[in-house]
Amino acid sequence: MTSTLRWFKSSYSNDSGGDCVEVATCPHTIHIRDSKNPTGPRLSVSPTAWADFLGHSTTGTSGT
């Protein structure tokens, strides 16, 4: 069975559609792609890795 990913952009994205990442979530994987190139390469990470990334990006800290 093949499922279609439902992609979304941040509410902070501009209306022109450029300079954004899009994200699609599944139970065990977070998929990330460039909104300017939706058929291009994608990055897939675990929900834990995505949560860590978001935590660091909102606090401005880097993992050490």
**Residue 49 belongs to some domain of the structure:** yes
pLDDT value at residue 3: 64
**Residue 14 belongs to some domain of the structure:** no
pLDDT in tens, the chain (64 residues): 346 899 998 777 776 656 788 999 999 999 999 988 889 999 999 999 999 998 887 776 665 5
**Residue 41 belongs to some domain of the structure:** yes
Phi then psi for residue 24, to 5 deg, are -130, 130
**Residue 2 belongs to some domain of the structure:** yes
Contact status, residue 32 vs residue 43, Cβ threshold 8 Å: yes
Identify the domain containing residue 32 by its residue range: 1-9+19-55
**Residue 63 belongs to some domain of the structure:** no
How many structural domains is the chain composed of?
Answer: 1
